[in-house]
């Protein structure tokens, strides 16, 4: 129980620090795990004990993902208006995500199991772990890849938006939702509710598209 309380408390503290200073390096997804890892190492606590104590947090991933449907419903008319653009963007984004993961794993000379582990890294954690298991990968390691992708995407995404002078909420939302899934969607909501809603739908559709690739296309790549 103590690890559960510590993890939640640290997250809220690091989130408050991030909101105050707005520094990407103070992102709670970076700062909170770093502090927790330091505490665990200094206290010589087995990783299994920490994992058991905080296991209930992982069960909240599903409901948290589903909760993104609320703002999506509020902006349903806007989503319908740009439905074709959204679907084309998501299709292109999901193919790009899968192919870059596949080519990167080939370049690093990963084993076939590690390739299957890395390929779903660009979709939200609960679905990514299921896809990884289906492909014969290691779900827990896939979760680590997903988190790293989300952190990097949520930091780099706003920089890309500024550098490319992206103005439309639709484009911003799709970029963050496809590029950094849950973490990107959280960042999109910091920009605006429209961006966050579009990011949510892009993340969900991207996950569905990747599931299709997982059962049809990806096995051909890995064969």
Q: Residue 172: pLDDT band by 50, 70, 90 thresholds?
A: very high
pLDDT digits (tens, 9 = 90+) for 178-191: 888 888 888 898 89
Q: For a pLDDT cut of 90, what percent of the chain falls above it? A: 8
pLDDT above 70 (res 56): yes
- For residues 82 and 11, state if they share a domain: no
Q: Is 35 within a domain?
A: yes
**Is 181 in the same domain as 105?**
yes
Mean pLDDT confidence for 191-215: 84
- For residue 222, the model assigns a pLDDT of 61
pLDDT mean across residues, the chain: 84
Do 94 and 172 sit in the same domain of this protein?
A: yes
User: Cβ(118)–Cβ(106) under 8 Å?
Assistant: no
pLDDT at residue 159 above 80? yes
Q: Assess whether 39 and 70 both reside in one domain.
A: no
* pLDDT band (50, 70, 90) for residue 209: confident
For 15, the domain range is 1-45
Provide the token pair at 1.
């129980």
- Of residues 183 and 220, more confidence is placed in 183
Q: Do 9 and 117 sit in the same domain of this protein?
A: no
Residue 150 lies in a domain: yes
106 close to 190: Cβ distance less than 8 angstroms: no
Q: Which two tokens stand for residue 50?
A: 């920490």
Query: What is the count of structural domains for the chain?
Result: 2
Stretch 66-74: mean pLDDT: 75
Whether 58 is in a domain gets the answer no
- Is the pLDDT reported for residue 220 higher than 70? no
pLDDT at 82 over 70: yes
Which of 38-42, 60-64, 88-92, 194-198 is predicted least confidently? 60-64
Tell whether 81 and 5 lie within a shared domain.
no
Contact 191, 162 (CB under 8 A): no
Of 57-61, 144-148, 180-184, which gets the smallest average pLDDT?
57-61
Rounded Cα distance, 195 and 186, in Å: 10
Provide the token pair at 164: 């490319």
**3 state SS for 129-176:** HHHHHHHCCCHHHHHHHHHHHHHHHHHHHHHHHHHCCCCCHHHHHHHH
Same domain, 150 and 207: yes
The helix/strand/coil state of 82 is coil
33 and 85 assigned to the same domain: no
Total-model pTM: 0.79
Provide the pLDDT for residue 36.
87
pLDDT in the model for residue 217: 67
């Amino acid at each position: 129980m103590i690890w559960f309380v510590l993890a939640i408390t640290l997250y809220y503290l690091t989130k408050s620090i991030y909101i105050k200073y707005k520094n990407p390096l103070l992102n709670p997804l970076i700062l909170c795990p770093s502090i927790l890892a330091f505490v665990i190492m200094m206290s010589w606590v087995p990783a299994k004990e920490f994992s058991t104590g905080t296991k209930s947090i992982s069960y909240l991933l599903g409901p948290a993902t589903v909760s993104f449907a609320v703002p999506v419903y509020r902006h349903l008319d806007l989503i319908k208006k740009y439905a074709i653009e959204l679907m084309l963007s998501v299709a292109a984004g999901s193919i790009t995500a899968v192919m870059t993961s596949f080519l990167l794993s080939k370049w690093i000379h990963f084993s076939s199991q590690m390739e299957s582990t890395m390929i779903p890294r660009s979709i939200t954690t609960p679905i990514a772990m299921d896809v990884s298991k289906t492909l014969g990968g290691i779900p827990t390691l896939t979760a680590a890849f997903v988190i790293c992708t989300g952190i990097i995407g949520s930091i780099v995404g706003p920089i890309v938006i500024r550098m490319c002078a992206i103005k439309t909420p639709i484009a911003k939302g799709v970029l963050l939702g496809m590029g950094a899934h849950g973490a990107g969607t959280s960042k999109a909501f910091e920009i605006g509710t429209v961006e966050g809603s579009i990011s949510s739908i892009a993340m969900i559709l991207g996950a569905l598209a990747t599931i299709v690739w997982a059962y049809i296309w990806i096995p051909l790549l890995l064969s």
